[in-house]
Amino acid sequence: MHKFYTALPKLSYGDTIGIISPSHVAAKERYEPIIQQIETLGFQAKISNNLYSNTYGYIASEYERADDLNSMVSDPDVRMIFFGGGYGSVDLLPLIDYENIRKNPKLFLSYSDGTSILNAIHTRTGLVTYYGQTPGDYAAPVPYTIEQFKRNFLEKSTGEFIPNSTWHTVQQGTCEGILIGGYLHNIVLGLGGPYFSYDKTKTYLLFLEDHERFSSVAEVSSLLSFLEQSDFIKCVGGLIFGNYADMLSYPLLERLERFCKKHSIPAVYTDDFGHGRNHAVLPIGCYSKLNATNKTLFFY
């Protein structure tokens, strides 16, 4: 077994899931049904002290949000810390008590703007963090969302990724390495900083996602150019790009193909994770293998 990370035991029914909001103001009327659904699934839900705070008029202060995260880490009853996206997670990075996380590790699950926190925690502690779901997905969860949660956090897994969409080969080939990634903007902006580090001697399987609601293909292209001009590109052995639009975007596929051919990177496009209907879970820091030709992904 390849061991470049620290993974935690899975959840049990009855465990407590802590809900925080580092990237947006959580509206009580929106979150109450979400909390009820989490409890219906068999877990205890605990909300943070500042979940509904709006100190700055658009978000709670960075100190309130960081205190929520750090308090959940210190709470012995909390097994998982669950949070969504928006803007602002990067505010917390210098305020997170990483030593406390090392002493009291939790399961961390988020996506989108949560990318910054998930990767910072993995970088600073070596802990596997999980990308792909947000509390908002549980307002009216689709079966695949629940299946992915159970597969990753409750059941003994075979390690094979189970898709719910048609995968498209961007460039054939295979790659194995440490799985890392998230929302494209956060990854690119974090490159070279103290909260997104990587080992230059290792190979990484990079997963990225963006969406046409937020970025045009031209904007995605620009961000990919920033990525390929960084030293990190030398360590990228493969690429998985997530849902960008309801209808397959051929201009995006063409841009990804040029990117991957230039750097000899096997790659696939999938609608299984991102800002679409499907919310698969991807473990940041887990050793993984992608076969872009056969369209398979395995976690080890």
Distance from C-alpha of 264 to C-alpha of 49, rounded to nearest angstrom: 48
Share of the chain above pLDDT 70, in %: 98
What is this structure's pTM? 0.96
Distance from C-alpha of 292 to C-alpha of 169, rounded to nearest angstrom: 6
pLDDT the model gives residue 36: 96
Q: What is the pLDDT of residues 90-146, one digit of tens each?
A: 999 999 999 999 999 999 999 999 999 999 999 999 999 999 999 999 999 999 999
DSSP SS3 for 44: strand
CATH number for 16-153: choose from 3.40.50.2300, 3.40.50.10490, 1.20.1090.10, 3.40.50.10740. 3.40.50.10740
Both tokens assigned to 119: 């990767």
CA dihedral 210, 142, 52, 63 (to 10 degrees): -50
Q: What is the pLDDT of residues 201-217, one digit of tens each?
A: 999 999 999 999 999 99
* Other CB atoms within 10 Å distance of the CB of residue 284: 24
Distance from C-alpha of 91 to C-alpha of 74, rounded to nearest angstrom: 20
Q: Crossing angle, helix 217-228 and helix 250-263, to 10 degrees? A: 10
Residue extents of the structural domains in the chain: 16-153, 168-299
Q: What is the pLDDT of residues 215-258, one digit of tens each?
A: 999 999 999 999 999 999 999 999 999 999 999 999 999 999 99
pLDDT the model gives residue 2: 39
Mean pLDDT calculated for residue range 280-299: 97
pLDDT the model gives residue 197: 87
pLDDT the model gives residue 5: 53
Spatial contact of 43 and 17, defined as CB atoms under 8 Å apart: yes
Architecture of the domain delimited by 168-299: 3-Layer(bba) Sandwich (3.50)
Q: What is the pLDDT of residues 41-69, one digit of tens each?
A: 999 999 999 999 999 999 999 999 999 99
Q: Which pLDDT band holds residue 3 (cuts at 50, 70, 90)?
A: very low
pLDDT the model gives residue 295: 98
Spatial strand order of the sheet with 204-209 comes to 168-171, 267-274, 236-243, 204-209, 174-183, 287-291, 296-299
The DSSP result for 147-201, as a single string, is: HHHHHHHTSPP-SB---SS--EEEE--EEEEEEEEEEHHHHHHHTTSTTS---TT
DSSP SS3 for 293: coil
